[in-house]
Amino acid sequence: MKYQFPENFWWGSAASGPQTEGVYEGDGKGQNIWDYWYEQEPTKFFHQVGPEKTSRFYEKYKEDIQLMKETGHNSFRTSIQWSRLFPEGAGEVNQKAVDFYNAVIDELIANDIEPFINLYHFDMPMALQEKGGWLNRETVEAYVVFAKTCFELFGDRVKKWFTHNEPVVPVEGGYLYQFHYPNVVDMKKAVQVGYHEVLASAKAIKVYHEMNQTGEIGIILNLTPSYPRDENNPEDVKAAAIADAIFNRSFLDSSVKGEFPQDLIELLRDIDHLPEIETGDLETIKENAVDLLGVNYYQPRRIKAKETTTKLAEGPMPDDYFDNYIMPGRKMNPYRGWEIYEKGIYDILTNLRENYGNIRCFISENGMGVEGEEDYINADGSIEDDYRIEFVKDHLAYVHQAIQEGSNVQGYHMWTCMDNWSWTNAYKNRYGFIAVDLEQEGKRTIKKSGRWFKEMTDQNGFNA
């Protein structure tokens, strides 16, 4: 069977500034929460590899963009590091950052690769974190200034903007489950952080539209479908709906519909955890929905009614309302510990078509992290990652089915272009189309999947 995709489909990959650029003497970048956390607790990071050892995009961007071209990209998403542009989070702009991002954007365009630019990818400037980060209302205003500055500096060439990548992750990681700085466990604070992220997004969208720029602006959400253990068991179905409200609809409804889910509001009211809201906020959120939605999909969430009595924390937690369920016979990525469930991508796109006005969207991340991959190099120096090709094909088959049924999905971006540093996991799991050899000054080698991606995107489709 031939899977043919629409004309002008966006093919490419996604990355982020803090995971690829690196830190260089004299680059003018300020400290962000990752730089600080690594300085304080290097043992929390896999093999003690910190954020300065990323894939060196800051110096190798020209080479990397040629490799993007060689692997069939017509678009590429990265982020502007807030702490690079504004070393203190506010105040003075770092001209070296402006020069760097201008050069990257121009180089992408010169190679017929459209830049998709995201504004916030988990990298809070430390100067703002010291005042509370997303807990502090002032951070929202500082973010809006950061966004407006980016639109002014780069908006003449960048026509695809995104306010946040996976805004639920700073909530989960920083304020619930302790895998991001500041490592707090406090659901009330988690709610306030999430609320301020939503508000910051809406305010940035408002500014963007007021500037009459000719592009579009959206948000990138990791949508993880919540499947009940037993669809005929009302308690399982209810538990899955709560998980969906907390982790998906919290940001999906507020970004696309401009309102928060009623069941989430009631749940938070019951435990006295509603956020502090100022007059006019809800109108701002309502009137500034996204133009475009990025969808990151990796794995499903399997849920059953609450059975365990163990508490994760003294105060309320999302897990008070459901238990995770391990489905027998599930297909796994053994390295990452994640279930591989290709139909989930179709279920998300169908949900967006049926319940969210069939908003224009694209798959902004999908990928397979493999540990030890760098040890499997063949004679010509490349990695035979047939499992990654199979993973992409199997997901794209479901994207294709969704398109046939009327989904307004515009493209597919893989995570990621070249192997990059990942938060506390460093280079444990490799995701790229292009291998990065840390022992040889970040030497790049296209993997088999990268060659395949070029052939596939040249034909705008593939044969099953």
Q: Which residues are catalytic?
A: 365
The answer, yes or no, to whether the previous bond of 416 is cis (omega within 30 of 0) is yes
- Distance between CA 65 and CA 196 in Å, rounded? 35
Structure-token match 């121009």, residue found: 106
> Quick one: how far is CA 345 from the chain centroid?
15
Cβ contacts of 323 within 8 Å, gap of 6 or more: 239, 303, 304, 305, 306, 307, 308
C-alpha distance from residue 68 to each of 208, 261, 295, 299 (Å): 29, 40, 21, 26
- Segment (H or E) for 242: helix 234-244
C-alpha distance from residue 89 to each of 93, 147, 248, 276, 347 (Å): 9, 11, 28, 23, 39
What torsion, rounded to 10 degrees, do the Cα atoms 162, 116, 158, 80 define? 70
What percent of the chain is helix, strand and coil (3-state, nearest 5)?
45, 20, 40
* Residues 416 and 73: beta-carbon distance below 8 Å: no
C-alpha distance from residue 190 to each of 144, 209, 371 (Å): 21, 29, 31
The answer, yes or no, to whether the previous bond of 316 is cis (omega within 30 of 0) is no
Q: How far apart are the first and last CA of the chain?
A: 5
* Residues 109 and 65: beta-carbon distance below 8 Å: no
